[in-house]
Each structure stands twice: as C-alpha cells, then as structure tokens.
C-alpha cells in the first residue's frame, strides 16, 4: 500500500513538473517565434493533458493554480491580474469536469466545463483587470480552441480512461 501511494506521489510530481515547465515555455516560444500561442489556449490544453494522464481531479485543481502562478512569476506572463482570472478559469474546468464526468458523457462534460470556465474568466476579468480590453482573442478563435482541445480530450479520454 505504501509503495503504491509513493509511486502515485512521484507520478504526480513528475507530471506536474513537466506540465508547469511546458506552461512556462509557452511565453518564451511565443516571443522566440513571434507567434501568439496564447490564442490556442495552451494552459487549457496542458490542464486537460494533466486530467487525462493523472487519475485524480484534485491534482488537476493543483495544476490549475500552479501553472499560471509559476508562469507569471518566472516569465511575467500572464500578467498578475490575468493570472488570477486564469486560475479561476482552470479551477472551474477541473472541478466542473470532475463533477460532470460522473454524470454525463465525456464530450458534453468537457465542453460545458470549458465554456462555463470562460464565463468565469471573463466575469472575473471584467472586475480584476478592467478597464483593459475585455476580449483580446477573437471569439471564433476561442471557440475553435475549445472545440479542438475538448474534442481531442474526449477522444483520448474514451481511448485511455474508459
């Protein structure tokens, strides 16, 4: 029993370290290649990867807080105000998907979770970083990212988790 718990802790530590490192590399890659990678919502993709690889939604909740925080501290992106909004958004995805996935099919659960999280993000952003531009990425780009990551996650989830 102890070995299993230790193995699980090591697995989560390695997974979280890799995902946090990738979250910090996104801003660097954006600057290096002059490509606005933030438009593809990479933190969401990394969170969904953590939810797929990990077995515990609570670890995804930890990632939801740690990834934006460490990226903000080490790279300056996202900015502090947006970091708080991103934490809330990602925590909403992790929590809501953890709850909905026990009741619904995977694709609707992930899509509703991500869309609800977007509402949380923009509501909080309107309060925290106002009067800065509320929507920086075109709505159709955000919808495309949601559908892409949600669809990919649902396909992989069915293949590896069910």
pLDDT tens profile 18-73: 888 888 888 878 777 777 777 778 889 999 999 988 877 788 999 999 999 998 99
Asked if residue 71 lies in contact with residue 78, where contact means CB atoms within 8 angstroms, the answer is: yes
Average the pLDDT over 90-97 and give the result.
96
Predicted pLDDT of residue 1:
44
3-state secondary structure (DSSP) of residue 161: coil
Q: Can you read off the two tokens belonging to residue 45?
A: 């993709």
* Helix-helix angle 42-53:57-75, to 10 degrees: 140
If you average pLDDT over every residue of the chain, what do you get? 85
Whole-angstrom distance, CA of residue 8 vs CA of residue 132: 42
Flag whether pLDDT at 103 surpasses 90.
yes
- 78 cis-preceded (ω within 30 degrees of 0): yes
Cα gap 66→85, rounded to integer Å = 13
Range 81-95 average pLDDT: 94
* 89 token code pair: 């958004």
Q: Residue 126 — very low, low, confident or very high, per pLDDT cuts 50/70/90?
A: confident
What pLDDT score was predicted for residue 132? Answer: 66
């Amino acid at each position: 029993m102890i070995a299993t718990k230790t193995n699980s802790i090591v697995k989560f530590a390695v997974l979280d370290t890799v995902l946090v490192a990738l979250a910090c590399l996104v801003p660097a890659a954006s600057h290096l290649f002059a490509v606005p990678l933030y438009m593809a919502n990479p933190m969401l993709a990394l969170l969904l990867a953590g939810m797929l690889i990990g077995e515990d939604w609570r670890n995804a909740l930890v990632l939801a807080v740690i990834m934006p925080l460490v990226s903000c501290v080490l790279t300056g992106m996202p900015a502090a105000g947006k970091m708080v909004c991103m934490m809330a958004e990602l925590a909403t995805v992790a929590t809501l998907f953890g709850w909905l996935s026990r009741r619904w099919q995977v694709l609707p659960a992930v899509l509703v979770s991500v869309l609800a999280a977007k509402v949380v993000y923009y509501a909080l952003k309107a309060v925290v970083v106002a009067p800065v531009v509320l929507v920086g990425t075109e709505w159709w780009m955000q919808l495309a990212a949601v559908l892409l990551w949600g669809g990919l996650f649902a396909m992989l989830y069915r293949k590896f988790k069910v």
